[in-house]
Amino acid sequence: MHRRTFLVSLGAWALAACDGSGGKPPPSPSPATSPPATATSSPAPTATSTATPPPATRPATPAARLDPTGFPIDPTTRLGLVTGEPGNRTIEWGAGPTAHDYSRDDQPAVDPVRANRCGWNARLHVEYEGQPAVDWYIPPGTPVVATMDGMATLMVNTVSNPFDVYGVSREPYLGNPDRDRAPVVPFPGPGGGQGVFVRIDNDGYRTDVAHLDIAGTILAVPSGAWLDGFGPGSDFPALFRDLQDFRVATIVARWQVRAGDRIGASGDSGYSEAPHLHYTIRRRGFAAALCPTAEPGFDDAGWLFRNP
């Protein structure tokens, strides 16, 4: 069954100088004695120091961030909002709350319509995909950043969208799906999985940000990160036009990142009912995903709101 499937150096420099001089005037000459001859003083030679100056203070290296905390998008981003009634729903871009407020207040809500009005929450992902994750409805090209330090891998299943390829309506899947018209398996063939996605691994965790836009994402890839046969000039639309099984993906680039680095741009590739960002977190060595929001029913949740 197909499943849809993703900070500061402190530097301080201080220089201090202290100088002082003082004294009393010489005593007046005695009248019984002749005044001394005026002495001509030569200026004292300037002392030249041969000591090696101390090295310049360098900014401290930021501590490693190995836990996936915070948001992979600007948390002040206003989200797209699902409007209308089932059968005639659409997305009004920028009309929703911020990603921060939506993830904190709405996605954990008991009301499924409210909880999914700007993207699928973790419980809906479990229903349709078997694993918790979060989605945010955002326009293609929205910057996406790393939430932890690690090795980033750009992978491509497809640049296409199966709803478009198969001519299947997206409307039943917008927000809280209309179950009567939104089967778990809506396509007669491969669904393309996460489409274009970036995976980050370190010793403790793995994160995925998925359904990216390939044109915007390759701009975030360093020049030396491309694997043989790929590069910023590659014809990705031609190479990855076809839909594939969600378990199939090709690695095209790999590079080290730090939390806060830009790693891509949001899009609409793969099994995506609307332009959005899909975000998942896993512990290394465990297949089960963790819940990024503080939704009820999950033991290890709330990663979006944890401090680094």
Of all residues in the chain, the percent with pLDDT exceeding 70 is 80
Distance CA 86, CA 79 (A): 20
Q: What is the pLDDT of residue 55?
A: 59
Q: Which residues pair with 253 in a beta bridge?
A: 154, 226
The region, left, alpha or beta by phi > 0 then psi within -120 to 50, assigned to residue 30 is beta
Q: Predicted confidence band at 52 (pLDDT cuts at 50, 70, 90)? A: low
In percent, how much of the chain has pLDDT > 90? 78
Provide the pLDDT for residue 41. 41
Mean pLDDT for 235-245 is: 97
Tell me the helix, strand and coil percentages in the chain, rounded to 5: 15, 20, 65
More confident residue, 60 or 161: 161
CB neighbour list of residue 95: distance below 8 Å, 6 or more residues apart = 78, 80, 81, 83
pTM: 0.81
**Rounded mean pLDDT, 73-79:** 98
Residue 167 · residue 186 · CB < 8 Å: no
Q: How far apart are CA 256 and CA 204, in angstroms?
A: 15
pLDDT given at position 226: 98
- pLDDT at position 62: 76
Q: Is the pLDDT of residue 197 over 50?
A: yes
Q: What's the mean per-residue pLDDT of the chain?
A: 86
**Both tokens assigned to 271:** 């099994």
Q: pLDDT for 5-42, tens place per residue?
A: 433 333 333 323 333 333 333 334 333 333 443 334 44
Token duo for residue 250: 């090709």
Q: What confidence score (pLDDT) does residue 48 get?
A: 43
* Under 8 Å between Cβ of 205 and 67: yes
Confidence check: pLDDT of 301 > 50: yes
pLDDT band at 120 (very low <50, low <70, confident <90, very high): very high
pLDDT at position 308 is 83
Cα–Cα distance between 142 and 267 in angstroms, integer? 8
Listed in sequence order, the residues at least 6 apart from 66 whose beta carbon sits closer than 8 Å to its beta carbon are: 148, 149, 150, 202, 203, 204, 205
pLDDT in tens, 132-187: 999 999 999 999 999 999 999 999 999 999 999 999 999 999 999 999 999 999 99
Task: Tell me the mean pLDDT in the region 209-234.
Answer: 98
